């Protein structure tokens, strides 16, 4: 635990990303054709990949198909699943672990570190944005391939806001309540929330009271030691106020039955004015409504507008298992993905790149534009859930879902959340 805490307390993300995201485009490897020609006569190799970015499943499948077409000796088995953490552990326990799999910054990388290949000397590592390095570094070893700079808040329908007479996005809790009342008066449903998806509720939304702390790492460090508890979070009441609003001005207790797909569908079809999501949702939204007039704002938890900032960071990485039987091919694949990152990570996945030699594009859309505004103004929060015990977000979602379903009151919910924390820390 001391090893974990040392990393948690010293590796805070400072988001020096703007210059990184504005770098020049990449080019394909000049040796690719020669390599492919040589590979065509090589023994068939299978690369197993696991990914939890279900919102871009089709894009991932298309990317891997392109790689296989260029490398006839390689077969890629890509599994994209929402039941990621449980399935990943099950596969490793059964001796069928993937060669390449997604890891999350800080705690998750630390927990998997003994199984991961050191990628420090890979050719693309010197192009990684500085803020991506702390979350993937353990004992001086860099264990991940960063995918994107991401951020989240309330995505909103500008046309519905205008219809309700709302001219400015809220920056305080009181203003958020006023926005909801104006939408209600205009007979517009405020929210579509996918609380059936654990990460929407137990990870991203519940991240906020931790991230709002003046020193999130210090607070979480005290929680690991038993010197502080969830009830001590300064803005915990504000978190429950926001959660209550999403229930009251949304779909009520039925919200716990809505998944990410339901949430996006309701929002993109104009049924609701807001949803708590991030820049990754742009592709899912535009598939349904390509001309939708949308934006994104930070979620307030109190009435001090200076505290209202957006959680932004490099959250996910591809890592390679030490147990891989296709180690060299897995490394080649990641190098190829970087070399072709402009086409896949940026143009296809619609992600803000975490490499200095990849560039953002206007097609990333208004959500990326709003995120960049918060970056430019230095109004950012860290992704505090990356400092939590590994896998706890899925457990946190259970009592929070019970609260949304009116099965628990606030006190019971906080007690259950604290019990979960205590159990995880003891392990």
pLDDT tens-digit series, residues 263-288:
999 999 999 999 999 998 998 999 99
Q: Which of 38-42, 140-144, 254-258, 262-266 has the lowest mean pLDDT?
A: 38-42
- Farthest CA pair distance, the chain: 69
Instruction: Give DSSP secondary structure letters for 180-192.
Output: HHHHHHTT-EEE-
Instruction: Give DSSP secondary structure letters for 319-369.
Output: EEBTT-S-HHHHHHHHHHHHHTHIIIIIIIT--EESBTTSB--GGGHHHHH
Distance CA 170, CA 176 (A): 5
Average confidence (pLDDT) over 294-320: 96
Residue 426 pLDDT grade (very low, low, confident, very high; cuts 50, 70, 90): confident
Beta strands in 188-257 (DSSP E): 189-191
Instruction: Give DSSP secondary structure letters for 88-157.
Output: HHHHHHTT---SEEEEETTHHHHHHGGGBPP-TTSTTGGGB-GGGSGGGEETTEE--EE-EEEEEEEEEE
Residue 374 burial class via C-beta count within 10 angstroms: exposed 0-12, middle 13-18, buried 19 and up: buried
Distance CA 52, CA 231 (A): 31
Instruction: Say what the pLDDT of residue 131 is.
Output: 79
Instruction: Say what the pLDDT of residue 134 is.
Output: 87
The CA-CA-CA angle for residues 11, 391, 119, to 5°, reads 50
Q: Is the dihedral of CA 390, 391, 395, 401 positive or negative?
A: positive
Q: Which residue has the higher pLDDT, 343 or 27?
A: 343
183 in Cβ contact with 324 (< 8 Å): no
Rounded to the nearest integer, the mean pLDDT of the chain is 89
Average confidence (pLDDT) over 347-376: 88
Distance CA 70, CA 74 (A): 9
Query: How far is residue 135 from each of residues 75, 141, 251, 328, measured CA to CA in Å?
Result: 30, 11, 36, 24
* CB atoms inside a 10 Å sphere around CB 81: 14
Average confidence (pLDDT) over 318-347: 97
Tell me whether strands 316-320 and 294-297 are parallel, antiparallel or unpaired: unpaired
Buried b (16+ CB within 10 A) or exposed e, 18-54: eebbebeebeebeebeeeeeebeeeeebebbbbbbbb
pLDDT digits (tens, 9 = 90+) for 74-90: 999 999 998 999 999 99
pLDDT digits (tens, 9 = 90+) for 105-138: 988 999 999 999 999 999 999 999 887 898 999 9
Three-state secondary structure call for residue 78? strand
pLDDT digits (tens, 9 = 90+) for 151-189: 999 999 999 999 999 999 999 999 999 999 999 999 999
Average confidence (pLDDT) over 301-313: 96
- Please give the radius of gyration of the chain, using alpha carbons only, rounded to the nearest integer: 21
Distance CA 376, CA 378 (A): 5
Query: How far is residue 158 from each of residues 154, 272, 277, 298, measured CA to CA in Å?
Result: 12, 11, 16, 15
Instruction: Say what the pLDDT of residue 350 is.
Output: 86
């Amino acid at each position: 635990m001391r090893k974990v805490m040392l990393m948690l307390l010293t590796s805070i993300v400072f988001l020096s990303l703007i210059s990184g995201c504005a770098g020049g485009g990449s080019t394909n490897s000049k040796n690719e054709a020669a390599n492919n020609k040589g590979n065509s006569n090589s023994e068939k190799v299978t690369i197993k990949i696991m990914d939890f970015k279900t919102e871009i499943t089709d894009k991932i499948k298309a990317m891997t198909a392109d790689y296989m077409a260029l490398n006839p000796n390689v077969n890629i088995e890509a599994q994209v699943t929402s039941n990621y953490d449980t399935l990943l552990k099950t596969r490793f326990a059964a001796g069928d672990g993937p060669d390449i799999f997604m890891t999350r910054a800080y705690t998750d990388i630390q927990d998997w570190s003994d199984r991961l290949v050191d990628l420090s000397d890979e050719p693309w590592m010197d192009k990684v944005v500085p803020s991506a390095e702390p979350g993937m570094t353990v004992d001086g070893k860099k264990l991940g391939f960063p995918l994107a700079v991401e951020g989240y808040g309330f995505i909103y329908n500008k046309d519905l806001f205008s219809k309700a007479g709302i001219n400015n996005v809220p920056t305080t809790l009181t203003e958020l309540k006023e926005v909801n009342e104006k939408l209600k008066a205009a007979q517009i449903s405020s929210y579509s929330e996918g609380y059936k998806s654990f990460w929407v509720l137990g990870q991203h939304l519940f991240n906020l009271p931790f991230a709002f702390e003046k020193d999130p790492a210090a607070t979480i460090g005290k929680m690991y030691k038993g010197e502080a508890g969830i009830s001590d979070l300064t803005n915990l009441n504000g978190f429950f106020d926001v959660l209550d609003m999403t229930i009251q001005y949304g779909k009520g207790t039925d919200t716990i039955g809505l998944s990410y797909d339901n949430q996006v569908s309701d929002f993109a079809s104009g049924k609701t004015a807001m949803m708590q999501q991030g820049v990754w949702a742009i592709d899912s939204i535009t598939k349904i409504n390509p001309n939708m007039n949308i934006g994104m704002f930070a979620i307030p938890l109190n009435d001090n507008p200076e505290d209202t900032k957006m959680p932004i960071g490099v959250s996910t990485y591809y890592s390679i298992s030490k147990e891989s039987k296709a180690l060299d091919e897995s490394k080649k694949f990641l190098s190829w993905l970087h070399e072709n990152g402009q086409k896949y990570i940026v143009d296809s996945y619609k992600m803000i790149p975490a490499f200095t030699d990849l560039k953002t594009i206007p097609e990333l859309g208004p959500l990326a534009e709003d995120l960049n505004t918060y970056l430019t103004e230095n109004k950012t929060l860290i992704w505090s859930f990356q400092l939590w015990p590994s896998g706890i977000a899925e457990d946190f979602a259970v009592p929070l879902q019970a609260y949304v379903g009116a099965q628990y009151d606030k006190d019971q919910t906080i007690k259950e959340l604290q019990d979960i924390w205590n159990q995880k820390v003891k392990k």
